[in-house]
A and B are shown apart, each in its own frame.
Chain A
Amino acid sequence: MLPAGALLLVFLTYPLGLGTWLGFTDAKIGRPGEWIGAENFTYLYGDSVARLSLFNTFFYTIVASVLKFVLGLWLALLLNKHLPFKAFLRAIVLLPFIAPTALSAIAFWWIYDPQFSVVSWLLVKMGLIDRYIDFLGDPWMARFSTIFANVWRGVPFVAITLLAGLQTISPSLYEAASLDGANDRQKFWYVTLPMLTPIIAVVMTFSVLFTFTDFQLIYVLTRGGPLNATHLMATLSFQRAIPGGALGEGAALATAMVPFLLAAILFSYFGLQRRAWQQGGDDQ
């Protein structure tokens, strides 16, 4: 009764192993590699572009995740207020998340265009700036532009899942807090947040994982440029492996991401456990 098992074994477990193995070889496209030990890794360690991509990945993940969390929680709290057209609002808020990323990234590419950007147009007309902003041409500008696009796509996911979590919090807890004289901020800190931590942990793990390994957005918007300033590990490993042909090196880069991902998963897993115990098995 497990055809899924067979398929997963062939196309998931095997590739994972093969990927790790490829990381230790000098395989090129169309040529099986020889075992070369940790040479790829030592090479990458000394490679300034790979180091830069590591920094970029961390910067991108941390900034984007924090923004997604803060904005997503805020949006979730707002949507949890008694609003008109609630269901409709929730439906359209999710649109950025369901639209194909590669395609919405094209829209951002056009919005960030150095000559015809609508944002620049507006700011110039308002007299705030006198030159068009080169969104994707300047290293730091490009980093923040890609982060913005990532946050744009990620906030709906965080918001809607947290909203689902908010709706499971029993109103009686808020009543009890009100009777005890808690103000809005105290209710948020001492009721909402603790009750929400388990789901926050899971949502943010997902978010961090998929931001850390993001590929589409960067590939569409900048292809890693300018001056490799936006290269993430995923895009760099693609560039080295597929157009560059150095499968082994690309695989080594991809494998190097695994420990970080594991750390993120373990972190949230143990975070989650502690909470469940603190609440006396209150959740789920």
Chain B
Amino acid sequence: MSQEKIQDSSGMAYLDTPTRRWVTVYLPVLCFLFILLFPFYWMGMTSFKPNEELVSKAANPFWINNPTFDHFERLLFKTEYPQWMWNTILVSVVSTFASLFASVLAAYAIERLRYRGSKQVGLTIFLAYLVPPSILFIPLAAIVFQLGLFDTRWALILTYPTFLIPFCTWLLMGYFRSIPYELEECALIDGATRLQVLTKIILPLAVPGLISAGIFAFTLSWNEFIYALTFISSSETKTVPVGVLTELVEGDVYHWGALMAGALLGSLPVAVLYSFFVEYYVSGMTGAVKE
């Protein structure tokens, strides 16, 4: 695999002179990297900088002279940040697992039961994934009100699957399709029920797909903003992105240090999770786009 890649990418690269290669390849890549990573560097810098340095125009802004943990301390002990973190974790985990469960059943049914119209259902699921949350939040807000779920975590746990299920189902359908049908036939002949086929044969084989879908769903719900902003109003049920933005900004006084510290800590869990599962994440992303 890697051999192949090296061959196809180097191709006729041996004809390039080192200087030419520097100018056409390395330099642009470095520029891209610098711009793509700078905001994160800046987040980190700001969150460790004492306030005097933040507002001083004389000091070199790219470096910290007296690093401080004040902002983190403020964030963790003087605001409800830990509570927001807990809410976000809870909501993301529960809605991810619920969506995965529903998607497995749906994807299996669409892909393998082959009832009439299953093709259309599959296509509808894909289209459902394309419905953006910013169209749905108003009617969903009305529904959440009617159900009396406003300002509860349930509002988020129940609405997140609206964008998670279509995505996960679509991804898992692709995975299930790649599993040979003969395996299932064997099991069916041996007297297994459909449910046994699903749990004993399909699921173990689809573990990579499940991980991809799970990771992707988790980051999607962690990053969700508009529903959490609309359906939640009290501080103790807010999620991290909403909490940081609405509670840490008091009037015109921006606590930049604490804001950045909050943003950094809020991005960390997804970044760590992502770093462990890069391959799965990328395959989930590209898998969702192909077909």
Contacts and interface: CB of A to CB of B under 8 A. Distances in A.
Interface of A: 1-5, 7-8, 11-12, 14-16, 18-19, 22, 27, 29-30, 71, 74-75, 78-83, 86-87, 89-96, 98-104, 106-108, 110-111, 113, 115-116, 118, 121, 152, 155-157, 160-161, 164-165, 167, 169, 171, 174, 178, 199, 202-203, 205-206, 209-210, 212-216, 219-220, 234, 237-238, 241-242, 247, 250-251, 254-255, 257-258, 261, 265, 284
Contact of B225 (A30, A78, A101, A261): A101
Nearest to A87: B278
Interface of B: 4-13, 25, 28-29, 32-33, 35-37, 39-40, 42-43, 46, 54-55, 57, 61-62, 101-103, 105-106, 108-109, 113, 121, 125, 127-128, 130-143, 145, 158-159, 161-162, 165-166, 169, 219, 222-223, 225-226, 229-230, 240-242, 244-245, 256, 259-260, 262-263, 266-267, 270-271, 274-275, 278, 281-282, 285-286, 289-291
Given A81-B13, A238-B230, A261 B132 contact: yes
A2 B103 CA distance: 9
23 contacts: A1-B108, A12-B131, A12-B162, A15-B139, A74-B28, A78-B25, A81-B13, A82-B10, A91-B275, A95-B36, A103-B262, A103-B266, A107-B39, A107-B42, A110-B42, A116-B61, A160-B282, A171-B7, A215-B133, A220-B245, A242-B138, A254-B138, A284-B291
A198 B24 CA distance: 27
Contacts, number: 274
Contact of A83 (B29, B36, B131): B29
Chain B: interface secondary structure? helix
A261 B130 contact: yes
Contacts of B161: 7, 11
B286 A164 contact: yes
Given A12-B131, A213-B132, 4 more contacts: A100-B266, A107-B263, A164-B286, A284-B290
Nearest to A132: B57
B25 A171 contact: no
A104 B260 CA distance: 9
A155 B145 CA distance: 38
B257 to A, nearest CB: 10
Contacts of B13: 81-82
Nearest to A217: B225
Contacts of A94: 274, 278, 281-282
Q: Which 8 A-B pairs have the closest CB atoms?
A: A4-B106, A102-B241, A4-B102, A19-B139, A234-B134, A171-B8, A213-B132, A103-B263
B134 A3 contact: no
Nearest to B29: A78
A171 B245 contact: no
A141 B166 CA distance: 38
Contact of A247 (B133, B142, B162): B142
A11 B140 contact: yes
Nearest to B28: A78
